[in-house]
Amino acid sequence: MVMSVTGVLLTYESQIVHWATARAIEAPAGAVALSPEEIVVATGAGAGQSLVLPRAPGGLVELRQGRSAVAVDPYSGAELAGAGEDVAAFFHGVTALHRWLSFSGPTEVGGWLVDAANLLFLGLVVSGLYLWLPKTWKWTRVKLNLFFRRGLPNAQARDYNWHHVLGIWALVPLFVIVLTGVVMSYGWANAALFAALGEEVPQGRGRGALSQEMSARELSGAPLDYAALLEAAGAARPEWTTATIVLPEAGAGAVQVTLDSGNGVAPSQRSELVLDRATGEILSDDAVAGSAGMRARMWARFAHTGQYYGVVGQTVAGLASLAAMVLVWTGMALGLRRLMRMRRVRRAAV
């Protein structure tokens, strides 16, 4: 129940945090948003950091290094200190509760319980499908468990109907959510995913860095500014909405630009380009980076939240989590009533 409730709360986390942070931006009258170069100078950003830019001028800018990110005012280049902080802290607590049954962060016991609950729920989903199957395949019987019914005589009949209807309609998304949760919870499940594709689990993170060949490439002329590089990259991906530039060393001949055309997290909507800094020529266009195993693992990570399929996927995942709340409640109610009936029968037999 805890994971279902927190799953619902986390449905649109990324969009809500972004909205709350962007609210801190105040555009002065007649002001023009800074160029990428001006933002780099204003923030003192250096090589290795990533500059995240919206396509629409005046939108939220971020400066990232590793997993940390700083929100930047697009008009002044100043840090938006405290922007969206309360909202982010709320979701941080919900995430900790979802992963470790703790508001403060990782706990060994909480993590173990969540992992075990994922595995147990996977068994319930699979066995639930078997129990849902009607004894006779007649439409008059099948439809009783496919649609909500009115005028049911009591709460038990209502709970039975809701449990079966929500169970079958939420079956596929719940199976995906729980199965991917198991993959992320257990090392053996993660290893099995890679093994199924003929690979071993890679060591380290392995993404985001330029190849040795690209890293060794030297600057062949005066470097283009970042706006020109974005224009060159955008010609290959005109539908982009957010760009991430990994700031290069002064003499580097290549620069990595990631263009995102989706919600900012779904790898299926992200393209990693490497451009020549002097000419803007695209040297590498990796729309789907990584091996088959890495792509499958990335799918598992973002299919769990629905983000792999954009806002529609997030909505489906949120509705499935909501259905899971009702399934847990009605399942417990039905089970408790059955135990009470069995107890009454035993007493009557004495």
| pLDDT higher at 51 or 268 | 51
Domain residue ranges in the chain: 92-202+302-349
Per-residue confidence (pLDDT) for residue 32, from 0 to 100 = 92
Retrieve residue 324's tokens.
Answer: 């899971």
Question: Which amino acid does the sequence have at 318?
Answer: G
CA distance 217 to 147: 62
CA distance 113 to 107: 10
Taking alpha carbons only, the member of 267, 275, 129 closest to residue 210 is 275
Q: Residue for token digits 């995430």?
A: 95
User: Which residues, 6+ apart, have CB-to-CB distance to 61 below 8 Å?
Assistant: 39, 51, 52, 53, 54, 71, 72, 73, 74
User: Which residues, 6+ apart, have CB-to-CB distance to 271 below 8 Å?
Assistant: 236, 237, 240, 258, 259, 260, 261, 285, 286, 287
User: Which residues, 6+ apart, have CB-to-CB distance to 67 below 8 Å?
Assistant: none
Per-residue confidence (pLDDT) for residue 35, from 0 to 100 = 94
CA distance 65 to 56: 23
Per-residue confidence (pLDDT) for residue 350, from 0 to 100 = 66
Instruction: For 7-43, write each residue's pLDDT tens digit.
Output: 999 999 999 999 999 999 998 988 899 999 999 999 9
Taking alpha carbons only, the member of 195, 253, 258, 266 closest to residue 221 is 253
CA distance 199 to 42: 45
CA distance 329 to 275: 54
CA distance 216 to 241: 30
pLDDT of residue 228 exceeding 90: yes
Retrieve residue 86's tokens.
Answer: 């309360």
What is the average pLDDT across 62-80?
93
What is the average pLDDT across 48-73?
93
pLDDT of residue 232 exceeding 80: yes
Share of the chain above pLDDT 70, in %: 97
Per-residue confidence (pLDDT) for residue 208, from 0 to 100 = 56
What is the average pLDDT across 89-99?
94
Q: How confident is the model at residue 247 (pLDDT cuts 50, 70, 90)?
A: very high
Instruction: For 157-189, write each residue's pLDDT tens digit.
Output: 999 999 999 999 999 999 999 999 999 999 999
CA distance 174 to 166: 11
| DSSP one-letter code for 106 | -
Per-residue confidence (pLDDT) for residue 233, from 0 to 100 = 94
| pLDDT higher at 313 or 202 | 313
Instruction: For 298-309, write each residue's pLDDT tens digit.
Output: 899 999 999 999
pLDDT of residue 244 exceeding 70: yes
CA 157 to chain centre: 37
pLDDT of residue 204 exceeding 80: no
Per-residue confidence (pLDDT) for residue 331, from 0 to 100 = 92
Question: Which amino acid does the sequence have at 320?
Answer: A
How many residues are recorded in the chain? 350
At residue 83, the 3 state secondary structure works out as: coil
